[in-house]
Amino acid sequence: MKRSQTYSQDFKEKLIKEYQETGSLYVVAKNHSVPVTTLRQLIFL
């Protein structure tokens, strides 16, 4: 089973800021090689 990736707080904030600027989960996820589901959890939870 694959181990979970741990992201730094700075990286999380960068992803959230980029999402707010672009409005697209898919673009941000693809640019940073982060699963869309992970990004969605960071932003909406």
pLDDT in tens, the chain (45 residues): 666 778 999 999 999 999 999 999 999 999 999 999 999 998 888
In a domain, residue 36? The reply is yes
In a domain, residue 25? The reply is yes
pTM over cut 0.75: yes
**What is the per-residue pLDDT for 45?**
82
In a domain, residue 1? The reply is no
Task: Give me the number of domains the chain comprises.
Answer: 1
In a domain, residue 2? The reply is no
| DSSP-H helix ranges across the chain | 9-22, 25-32, 36-44
CA dihedral 11, 14, 18, 19 (to 10 degrees): 60
Domain limits at 16? 9-44
